[in-house]
Amino acid sequence: MTQTQLVDLDLVDQTTALIPTQAWSHVRQLIVTALVDNMSGSVLERLTGSYDGFEQAEQRLFDYYQLPDKQDELIIDAFKIMGAVNTLELLDSAQLQQFNTNVSTSNSSSMSTMQGEQTQDN
């Protein structure tokens, strides 16, 4: 997905709704690490002043997305940079249902279901 493509905000809403409140710190860490891993050297240098400032970049992004109103923005940015399918695969692999004992079995595979639907849409 390139930055010129639009992000499906309904998919963002569906994704954030499936993330248990207790899991957001874990989700932030996973996505921020993936964003930095996918970051070009020039972006990394603009963010940190160094081509090898990976830890500093992760800390800056983690601090930024830690703000309570940045949850949707984190998912939107992940969709823009990594693509919706890759983001959903990352979230699915994190087994977020373990953070919320109130999630029913029928909802536990919802990220996988959304991932399949997103793949079919492309």
Q: Please write the tens of the pLDDT for every residue from 57-106.
A: 999 999 999 987 899 999 999 999 999 999 999 999 988 878 875 544 44
How far, in Å, CA of 111 to CA of 89, rounded? 8
Q: Binning pLDDT at 50, 70 and 90, where does residue 118 land?
A: low
How far, in Å, CA of 109 to CA of 3, rounded? 28
Q: What residues contact 15, with CB distance under 8 A and at least 6 apart?
A: 75, 87, 88, 91, 111, 114
What's residue 1's pLDDT? Answer: 41
For residue 38, how many other CB atoms are within 10 A of its CB?
13
114: left (phi over 0), alpha (psi -120 to 50) or beta: alpha
